[in-house]
């Protein structure tokens, strides 16, 4: 019995020593889309690693559909590949801006209340969100 207790305690500390994991192998995200005139479903799955822009990146495949009720229930499929990277507790996202693809900050896992984040890329949608 005491061996089991030691194993559980040592396993707990080993998880703490490795820190927070952003994207565990095989991770999936499923969510529905609901708005005034559209609905749908999206499935995202971490499918492996690759190198993008000189960094090791997690490959996240996205599949799903959107139904536009105002257009007679027309259905559009969603199919995209996303790339993320983690360095020093910052999760980066590979994003095209003005025809140039680059790494930009998605979020900081170690952020505390009141911390500020400097964005590498200023995009119109991030500028609008910051002004609200």
Which pLDDT belongs to residue 51? 95
Q: Which segments in the chain show pLDDT lower than 70?
A: 1-21, 118-132
Provide the token pair at 53: 């822009």
Cβ neighbours around 100 below 10 Å, total = 8
Start-to-end Cα distance in the chain? 56
Which pLDDT belongs to residue 4? 31
Which pLDDT belongs to residue 59? 95
Which pLDDT belongs to residue 47? 95
CB 65 within 8 A of CB 78: yes
- Distance set, CA 28 to CA 7, 15, 63, 126 (Å): 29, 21, 11, 26
**Is the overall model pTM greater than 0.85, yes or no?**
no
């Amino acid at each position: 019995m005491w061996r089991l207790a030691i194993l559980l305690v040592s396993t707990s500390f080993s998880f703490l020593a490795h820190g927070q994991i952003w994207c565990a192998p095989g991770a999936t995200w499923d969510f529905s889309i609901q708005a005034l005139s559209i609905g749908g479903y999206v499935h995202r799955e971490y499918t492996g690693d690759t190198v993008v822009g000189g960094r090791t990146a997690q490959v996240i495949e996205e599949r799903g559909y959107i139904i536009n009720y105002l257009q007679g229930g027309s259905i559009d499929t969603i199919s995209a590949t996303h790339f993320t990277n983690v360095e020093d507790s910052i999760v980066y996202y590979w994003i095209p801006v003005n025809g140039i693809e680059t790494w930009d900050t998605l979020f900081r896992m170690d952020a505390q209340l009141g911390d500020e984040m400097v964005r590498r890329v200023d995009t119109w949608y991030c500028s609008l969100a910051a002004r609200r």
